[in-house]
């Protein structure tokens, strides 16, 4: 098959000698800035992809630029990507190819699973110079799209049971061991937080463990993810508008599951274990009531004052289970609080923790070009998570610093773990518009960060 179109980089700093081209570019307001595009009449038709100033090119800028190319070309069957204009002296060829491959796939993504007349085109992105890095970029981007697909699915499709089944299938195809636990196991495990949030729904809770044993021995990393397949708020019911999009509250679990499929490739020696509680948070005849007290896995009691603060309540059990493994590093991810969005805006995740883990995760996020920013654990606010009737309460009353008080609540369940990070990506996990690498809906945020983290941990050993 002959390519139906071609895409090539164009730099704003490169002076064009063709006056006709200059006039045409000006008419189209095309200057070659990152993300600008211009069609050129050629055979095949060629899309000029603005990449900014040549001397300032980075892999992040290239990824963003070719995401725009993906939006314009993703309806075609075959597209050639020619990056020859980017010399090795300008950008490492492996970084170049990987970034451009990720960009076109992420930009072209659309979720139309339930659109009856949707196009079935699956674009073949063909590099002018094939490379292993190009293939790696395509694979990583495809996994991000897999995360997006899972999170975009409505809650009548993705329930705790069906999500657990999909994770088991994904793990089996990737050489990971996956165990799916039911309510009986949760009772025996003393997972009072998970059971308390899950009991309001007719859909039973599940708890998924994903294991990449690596070389065995010490656990290098434990991952914990929030998996609320729909969050109505329970008896502390959200308003109708606030419930729209709440199928995304299991984004952390989807992110972890897809990221771990890369462990056999990027970090085969690492021993990594993931702990994923899955619930649907609904009001019902058996719902947990505000003021109920439950016992978490580590024996601490939780006064549940607000059932819409469900994420931290289920993560308590998962963190306690993970801490029992005495991992070198413990990292939890969650679409947890609007406090993080209020503090940092909709496109930056809040990072908390102690020891090495926060720095490791932030370095990986910087490499992946997924913005995170550290926020403090405010010790003077500890009374806000203390309960008059139990060890801790899940609702701080105080409306400020809620991302911090949530992280401090979670810290109560990690035991003596010295290297712990908590990533609250309530904002960047979902987008209401199109920007850079994503369109409206699930973004797949943090999947590429975790893959970078795995590689960094493996390289450090």
| Tens of pLDDT, residues 205-234 | 999 999 999 999 999 999 999 999 999 999
Return the half-sphere exposure (C-beta side, CA atoms, 13 A cut-off) of residue 455.
15
**Predicted TM-score of the model (pTM):** 0.96
What's the CA gap between 94 and 96, in Å, rounded? 5
What percent of the chain clears pLDDT 90, i.e. is strictly above it? 92
Task: Give the closest residue to 210 by CA, choosing from 259, 279, 152.
Answer: 259
- Going by pLDDT thresholds of 50, 70 and 90, the confidence category of residue 41 is confident
- Residue pair 381/411 in contact (Cβ under 8 Å)? The answer is no
Query: Is pLDDT of 1 > 70?
Result: no
Q: What is the predicted pLDDT for the residue at 461?
A: 78
Distance of CA 45 to the CA centre of its chain: 35
**Does the active-site annotation cover 110?**
no
**Candidate list 166, 238, 300, 347, residue with the active-site label:** 238
**Candidate list 71, 312, 393, 411, residue with the active-site label:** 312
Average pLDDT score over the chain: 96
- Residue pair 78/7 in contact (Cβ under 8 Å)? The answer is no
Domains, the chain: 5-108 (3.40.220.10), 153-460 (3.40.630.10)
Query: Is pLDDT of 110 > 90?
Result: yes
167-190 pLDDT, tens per residue?
999 999 999 999 999 999 999 999
- Can you say whether residue 437 is alpha, beta or left, with left for phi > 0 and alpha for psi between -120 and 50 degrees? alpha
Q: What is the predicted pLDDT for the residue at 301?
A: 98
Q: What is the predicted pLDDT for the residue at 67?
A: 98
Tell me the sheet residues that pair with 10: 50
Q: Which helix (DSSP H) or strand (DSSP E) does residue 127 occupy? A: strand 124-127
- Going by pLDDT thresholds of 50, 70 and 90, the confidence category of residue 136 is very high
Give the other-Cβ count within 10 Å of 350's Cβ.
25
- Going by pLDDT thresholds of 50, 70 and 90, the confidence category of residue 380 is very high
What's the CA gap between 296 and 192, in Å, rounded? 5
**Does the active-site annotation cover 98?**
no
- Going by pLDDT thresholds of 50, 70 and 90, the confidence category of residue 400 is very high
């Amino acid at each position: 098959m002959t390519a139906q179109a071609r895409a090539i980089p164009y730099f704003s700093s490169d002076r064009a000698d063709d006056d006709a081209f200059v006039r045409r570019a000006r008419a189209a307001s095309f200057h070659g800035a990152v993300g600008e595009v211009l069609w050129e009449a050629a055979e095949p038709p060629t899309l000029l992809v603005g990449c900014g100033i040549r001397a300032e090119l980075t892999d992040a800028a290239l990824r963003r630029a070719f995401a725009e190319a993906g939006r314009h070309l993703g309806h075609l069957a075959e597209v050639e990507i020619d990056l020859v204009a980017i010399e090795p002296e300008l950008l490492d060829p492996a970084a170049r190819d990987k970034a451009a491959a990720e960009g076109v796939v992420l930009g072209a993504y659309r979720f139309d699973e339930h659109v009856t007349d949707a196009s079935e085109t699956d674009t073949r992105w063909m590099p002018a110079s094939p490379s292993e890095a190009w293939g790696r970029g395509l694979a990583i981007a495809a996994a991000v799209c897999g995360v997006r697909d899972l999170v975009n699915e409505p809650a009548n499709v993705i329930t705790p049971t069906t999500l657990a089944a999909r994770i088991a299938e994904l793990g089996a195809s990737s050489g990971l061991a996956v165990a799916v636990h039911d309510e009986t196991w949760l009772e025996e495990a003393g997972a009072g937080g998970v059971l308390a949030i899950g009991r309001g729904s007719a859909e039973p809770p599940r708890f998924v463990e994903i294991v990449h044993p690596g070389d065995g021995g010490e656990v290098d990393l434990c991952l914990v993810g929030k998996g609320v397949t729909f969050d109505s708020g329970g008896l502390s019911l959200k308003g109708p508008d606030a419930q729209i999009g709440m199928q995304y509250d299991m984004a952390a679990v989807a992110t972890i599951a897809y990221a771990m499929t890369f462990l056999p490739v990027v970090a085969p020696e690492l021993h990594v274990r993931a702990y994923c509680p899955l619930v649907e948070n609904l009001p019902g005849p058996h719902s947990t009531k505000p003021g109920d007290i439950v016992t978490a896995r580590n024996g601490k009691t939780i006064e549940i004052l607000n059932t819409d603060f469900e994420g931290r309540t289920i993560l308590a059990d998962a963190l306690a289970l993970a801490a029992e493994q005495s991992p070198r590093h413990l990292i939890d991810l969650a679409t947890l609080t609007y406090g993080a969005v209020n503090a940092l805006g909709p496109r930056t995740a809040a990072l908390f923790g102690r020891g090495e883990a926060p720095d490791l995760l932030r370095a990986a996020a910087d490499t992946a070009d997924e913005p995170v920013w550290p926020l403090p654990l405010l010790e003077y606010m500890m009374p806000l998570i203390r309960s008059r009737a139990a060890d801790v309460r899940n609702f701080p009353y105080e409306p400020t610093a809620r991302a911090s008080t949530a992280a401090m609540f979670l810290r109560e369940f990690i035991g003596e773990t010295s290297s712990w990070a908590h990533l609250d990506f309530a904002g960047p996990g979902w987008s209401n518009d199109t920007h850079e690498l994503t369109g409206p809906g699930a973004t797949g945020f943090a999947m590429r960060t975790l893959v970078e983290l795995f590689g960094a941990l493996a390289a450090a050993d």
